[in-house]
Structure 1
């Protein structure tokens, strides 16, 4: 029994992990969540001291900002870092000069992937951090959050950069894109532009994703662009120009929060286009509209708005209508008379979004003000109609009768 106890004590006293090779110890460190935890292993023994600086994936979380740059200077190079990720703490403050100094040191590590995220309140008095972008020669992927890109120094280029993500940033996008000759993917989310213009000009860009921003002009020139995803949330009098002749996948949506796009009682909530090269999927025009009696009367402007966003042709029209008990035939016929819709429409899908409480429109309601039942339209390409939420009331049957008259292929 005494021999067994002595054996166990001897086993526990021995530091068998520290006898492993550096490569094996680094495999242990790389499984730790971020660099702060890895650096703490230095207190275990002299064998572990400074070993974290040889990691090729460096993630800073919950590290005081002033400590990050000195820590970066301890990292051995070469070989280059595969991932450098910096998340500044919410409670810290830093100047533009400090952030630019940090970026310069980060660039010296030649990371393949670089992520820098600063909280919205970061900086002096909550102002944006203004950066003069340093060169990342070997970096393939960059993501920046909450910075103002003031300029790119003359002669700076990102020759290997393929993916660029800018979140809640603003500044000189033109200057940055001109320095990225191999850029394939660009993600812009929550972006603000000083001139209210979104300009994307890139001869190499293949995928563009833009989410939630306000602008007055959209100008995209990307001859190699294959995939485009855009979500607009608030736009007034927007002008749109897209030059991308080989696009294959398009997801383009506009959400109107101003109730400014009208037809009678109806206002536009959402307008979208979807197109893909996948076999069997029809290119889609998606419209969601609701009723607001307080907005009547207004000159109809649905047509102008639809034409403005017509970046691709389509053959499927989906209408999501919040009717509140009102007649919707006039709106449907108004849309079907728009030439860019009627000339190519193969399938019409209407989804009636009804409220839980059954509602009826009052006598002499403006929703019946137009003579849509006697209007003639040409729907020579329409082959299929689907209506979800059909209840069989008179005005719904009237709409079906009209469609059957003017769509000979149904």
Structure 2
């Protein structure tokens, strides 16, 4: 069966797209009559309420009690709203087989959706079929190996209305080489167009060779995510120019992730507010001049460089600094950041080898900033500690902070020694947040002869005079947890509020319930949702395409 794509008058002329014959699942029941599927449709994505005529209930049932096709009596704008609620443009196009009344309605939609794994060959024809609809506001494509992407990307760049959005995830054999063994696949070169009208562009390109537009202004672009691409030597120098203010005058959010072939990057922007640079393998030089920048995340961009990284960050408005990378104050320069509120570093090994380079980078970074409001640290334990040294003693100074947030991958080990060491070198902490990331089914508590318990003996009593609030997430009710809690209560006499959120496999014991008699406000919360507490990993939210397989 073929669906005419070109005309909207039901004449059947124009390009044809093959449709599956199994259309019963879409709108026709086993009896061959139209079923009422409105109730099964998902809520509108933007949350806007849609008022349908009150007679719609009467329109669905005929006098014989059999469902009849009364939907076709609805106005076009209502039918288009119904089609927008369907899962994909392909599904919307299939409704054209219902009757002449529905034919071509899908081609009037302002949104085109091809979720993973869509057929790349259908994208171009869909854009052609919808050419009569001048207000394309969204194009979302997720597919495998779209060799013809360049053509339809240029078409989309010219079709998107002011403020439009483009999402493209191209999963190539280069990206999934380990899974499918596509060793013979030759990487394609894609010439990126200039999106002059789009407000949001997300491109995840499967490590294709990307050539950037040499001219043009992204005049309305406020958010750009560029991931999984390979740049040649010429495009390397062009990337910074493309995302800087002269060509992106209103850009506020920028994410550049998993980009190959980038040795240096210079971004000069008067509008940029959030910037994430993630795994730019081999980056050697970085310059950022962004007076409006509020949040900066740099992760694993320099660590593979054979020489010391050179970076200059000028961001006087910065509030959040997420620096999980090599750091040497002789080569990395930060301007004054009087508004800095939160600092996040690389995961810190509690036990390891004394010459561990990333630990030294984290220590130097912690020494560099005298004051921040909140410090987030991730502490990581090895499962077998017998081969490693205790490393927390290398951290001798922390910034003056109000809130200490500690995420612990304990592997079943005791946490008291490491957490109290941190508290001992930043006595001004008023709020402590501890998140345990153990799986009780895998990480059984270690024995009393373990090195983590031996280290705990060094803790000498001292007062945490101004600690007022404590949160512990994933409390396991192990002996280690109760030992830490008991020491904390002994040393902190001014705690006004303590909140324990139990691990979803734990149940409150009599000992735990007895703590409710303390003078402070003591709350025990039960986790029945099996929440996996994860430390922050990005400034940007995930997408449905992250789960593509």
TM-score tier after normalising by the smaller chain length? 0.5 to 0.7
Change (3 A) 1:120 1:234: farther
1:114 positional shift:
0.8
1:319 positional shift:
8.1
Hey, what's the Cα distance between the residues in 2 that align with 1:108 and 1:309?
A: 48
Change (3 A) 1:157 1:127: farther
TM-score for the superposition, normalised by structure 1 = 0.66
The answer to whether 1:238 aligns with 2:238 is no
Where 1:121 maps in the other structure, the secondary structure is coil
Alpha-carbon deviations, 1:38-73, whole Å to 9, x = none?
000111111111110100111023543222212211
1:198 positional shift:
4.2
1:372 corresponding residue in structure 2: none
The answer to whether 1:139 aligns with 2:207 is no
Which structure shows the higher helix fraction?
1
Change (3 A) 1:245 1:158: same
Map 1:99-110 → 2, pairs under 5 A? 99-110=149-160
Hey, what's the Cα distance between the residues in 2 that align with 1:24 and 1:346?
A: 54
Hey, what's the Cα distance between the residues in 1 that align with 2:433 and 2:76?
A: 67
2:515 corresponding residue in structure 1: none
Alpha-carbon deviations, 1:61-90, whole Å to 9, x = none?
3543222212211114454112111222x3
- Contiguous gaps of at least 5 residues in structure 1: 1-6, 262-274, 359-378, 402-410
Change (3 A) 1:284 1:215: same
The answer to whether 1:72 aligns with 2:127 is yes
Contact 2:321 2:344 (8 Å CA) reproduced = no
2:172 corresponding residue in structure 1: 120
1:365 corresponding residue in structure 2: none
Where 1:70 maps in the other structure, the secondary structure is helix
Hey, what's the Cα distance between the residues in 2 that align with 1:144 and 1:224?
A: 25
Q: 2:256 aligns with which of 188, 195, 198?
A: 188
Q: Which moved more, 1:233-242 or 1:282-291?
A: 282-291
1:186 positional shift:
0.7
Contact 2:277 2:301 (8 Å CA) reproduced = no
Q: 2:240 aligns with which of 174, 180, 187?
A: 174
Instruction: Indicate the RMSD between aligned Cα atoms, in angstroms.
Output: 4.4
Q: Which moved more, 1:142-151 or 1:39-48?
A: 142-151
Where 2:93 maps in the other structure, the secondary structure is helix
Contact 1:144 1:169 (8 Å CA) reproduced = no
1:56 corresponding residue in structure 2: 110
Contact 1:56 1:81 (8 Å CA) reproduced = yes
Q: 2:289 aligns with which of 221, 225, 230?
A: 221
1:168 positional shift:
1.4
